[in-house]
Amino acid sequence: MKHPARLAWQALLLLALLVLGGLLVTTTAGHLQERGIRSGFDFLLEPAGFALGESLLPFDSGDSTLRAFAAGLLNTLRVALPGALLAVVVGVVVGFGRLGDNPLVRALAGVFVNGVRNVPLLLHLLAWYFILTDLLPAADAALRLAPGVFLSKSGLALPWWGEAGWELPEPAGFGIDGGARLTPEYLALLIGLSTYSAAYIAETLRGAVQALPPGQRLSALALGMTPRQAFVLVLLPQAWRAALPPVTSQLLNLFKNASLAVAIGYPDLVSVAGTSLNQTGRAIECLLIVIGVYLLLSLLAAALSHRLERRSLRGMAP
């Protein structure tokens, strides 16, 4: 139980911070009013006046700016959540390759990790965007990767469930009709974020596995397990407990790095905030919204990480 005096000092400190924050907000609002600059969040209920290139949430220029921010947030989650899952899967596979017995596999995994980690993420995104938009064929000559799956400069066309059942994309005229389509902007962001994070996750897992006693792997092999089985069934579960905090931190970085989407024209939360700022001039308000959303996402991710850590520690208890 905390000492009453310590609690009193903490309460006074919190009160002082609230007072300073209130004074800052009041002073800033007064200066803006003196200069004839509108302030406040009322613009969120006004028509946005701009459209989005793609959105899970139906949206047009006549909808409110608040709906535009919601669409931007959904677009961010749309790329960050599958990107995080893909990063973990690729990171585990590459980490296994770095520890494998095959020299060629180890070398290829090492080239991937070192090549990806030593190039800035922004260059990764721009490179993937260039590959998808300049080096691929046009939609009327799309690459057929599988039945109903086409890849071209227009993006990736996939089968999708429609009103009348499964819709298979098919070439039609100068493009592809039917199914769902992932744009080049979305694909470049998804591939860039997931591969960049996967390289760091692979190194984290490699270090965690190598920190385990070598007898763990030798014992598993002596029992007749293959190297893959020893890694998946014996080494990975133990190493994952130690690697969980840094892996969670890397996945959180993936969410924050999604803000680089503006560089390749993907309409994420930051892109919507920038367009809204230009439309309304509410720079402080738009900035506060973006900061608040990313702060909330970070806190939720941290809470989930702590919960998983506690569960893993309980699993280790005798």
Q: What is the CATH number of the domain that holds 182?
A: 1.10.3720.10
**Average pLDDT of every residue of the chain:** 85
pLDDT exceeds cutoff 70 at 31: no
Q: Does 35 reside within a domain?
A: no
Residue 84: the pLDDT is 93
Residue 33: the pLDDT is 63
Looking at per-residue confidence, does 52 or 167 come out higher? 52
pLDDT exceeds cutoff 70 at 314: no
Q: Does 12 reside within a domain?
A: no
* Strands of the 143-146 sheet, one edge to the other: 143-146, 149-152, 155-158, 180-182
Q: Does 3 reside within a domain?
A: no
User: pLDDT for 178-229, tens place per residue?
Assistant: 888 899 999 999 999 999 999 999 999 888 888 888 787 788 888 888 877 8
Q: Phi first, then psi: give them for residue 145, nearest 5 degrees.
A: -80, -30
The number of folded domains in the chain is 1
Residues 6+ apart with CB under 8 A from 74: 55, 56, 57
Q: Does 31 reside within a domain?
A: no
Q: Does 5 reside within a domain?
A: no
Q: Does 73 reside within a domain?
A: yes
Q: Does 141 reside within a domain?
A: yes
Q: Does 196 reside within a domain?
A: yes
**Amino acid at site 1:** M
pTM: 0.82
**25-29, 114-118, 137-141: least confident range:** 25-29
pLDDT exceeds cutoff 50 at 24: yes
| Highest-scoring range by mean pLDDT, 17-31, 76-90, 145-159 | 76-90
Specify the residue for token string 């969410």.
255
Domain that holds residue 210: 65-316
